[in-house]
Structure 1
Amino acid sequence: MTKAPQRALHPAVAAASSAALGLMVTLGCGSAASAADADAKKLVKTMSDYLAAEKAISFSYDTNLEVVTVDHQKLLLASSGKIEMGRPDKLRVTRFGGFANVEVTFDGKTLSLLGKNANLYAQTEVPGTIDHLIDELRDKLHRPVPGADLLLPDAYDELMRDVVDVKDLGSGVIGGVECDHLAFRTKEVDWQIWIAQGEHPYPCRYVITASQVDQSPQYSIQISDWKTGTDVVADDFGFKNITNAEKVDLTKLADIDELPDHLAMGGTK
């Protein structure tokens, strides 16, 4: 029987295949891989301890949220904002995107949400700490704070929950800052984090991939202008209605999330 002639790989394909093989060999080296796993977890623990020890934090951020349509088209929604936090119970979050211009303030007792485009605001009583507020926003009000896992005092425990695979991918550079690049996997999601090297190990980029969802959409947050301590200027976290916004029920505030209402799950528009 005549054998079919073998086709040579295109140089680019051959290079990619070689790189992939090299990566598999590098990442699959028994005891060396186990040591790297331990080092990767230690880097996350160091970051978590650093964040928990800081009483005042502020940073700017850029987020990208991927949405998969019913016809399998992947769309990317981008927004930017700023977070100012004073532990244990003060928070201000702004977010500006193509569909929303929102400010969230929390003074330890009252949560205020201002939709700047519509000039409407809503308030609800949520007495307690930032940790409690983050849980309430996510689970009951369905208004998650960008990168909320990173703001918790037990960030390490939250991040490492259900992790089944760990990879230390070496160095990466985010916004001119050299970082340790780490990758983790759970049964539901894959996530990566880039942690600034040096005495201020803050998160520079955090990416979550919904690996069990069609097309594996991602959510990413990139952090810049990191400040702590006395460099954080916010000292008043109370809501000030300087635009004479109309007060409404929380359900009346439209398009205040990263996912706009007309693209919500099950939407037809």
Structure 2
Amino acid sequence: MPILLLVIILGIVEGLTEYLPVSSTGHLILATELLGYDADKWALFNIAIQPGAILAIVVLYWRTFIDVLIGLSKRDPSSFAFVRNLLVAFIPAVVIGLAIGDYIELLLGNAIVVAWSLIIGGFAILLIERVAKPTDHGGVANVTFRHSVGIGLIQCLAMIPGVSRSGATILGAMAMGVDRKTAAEFSFFLAVPTLTGATALQLYKHGATMEPGMTAWILLGSLVSFIVAVVVVKAFVAIIQRYGFAPFAWYRIVAGSAALVWLALR
């Protein structure tokens, strides 16, 4: 398969899965393996195209970001609470990521870990959907400090490929009583510092080892992921408010099971 086509496919996969509770990293690893490429060699690319998905959130929620900036200049308490909640939730990922980041990197090419994480995560989603009793919080700024800390800690589970950062944060928030819409938006906004930090760290650590021409592929993959993510995020919020997360849970279980069978037979 031509590299150009691979880059476009991986960009589509990133845009489709980054904000869905199905694990973008896991899908990128499986897609790379399925298409016959070494997932380890494409691990940096898979992380480096995340800015496209980040930009999608900035574009879609630009009014929210502007309002928060204006509010900060006017010392608005809700704007400070918005920023505080995201920073508090972001800190655990920084601490744990720096502490065990090298070990986590060893898992980024392990398709078997991804497959099992998809299956286990699918059943976890079904369980949380059944037992969670969320109440309306009215937005990210109204999430409590304690819940923000909890969401940040839960997000760290997504360092395991296949767990899903968005799935962990959204379902974790719901388990603590946060409503679906607020939980989803908290996950979206938290993705901005989290994915930016992860991308910057990986480029700092491994940027010098990139193959010639990889920068151009990363820019193209980021552009594709941005376009796809803009469409997906809009649809995702509508889907979860109407149908919940069960469709994504069953998808994870089926996809993970199919991946295990394929990995065993190849």
Same topology, TM > 0.5: no
TM-score if structure 1 supplies the norm length? Answer: 0.26
Determine which structure has greater relative contact order: mean sequence separation of CA pairs < 8 Å that are 6+ residues apart, divided by chain length. Answer: 2
Q: Which structure shows the bigger proportion of residues in helix conformation?
A: 2
Which has a greater percent of strand? 1
TM-score by length of 2: 0.26
Q: Rg larger in 1 or in 2? A: 1
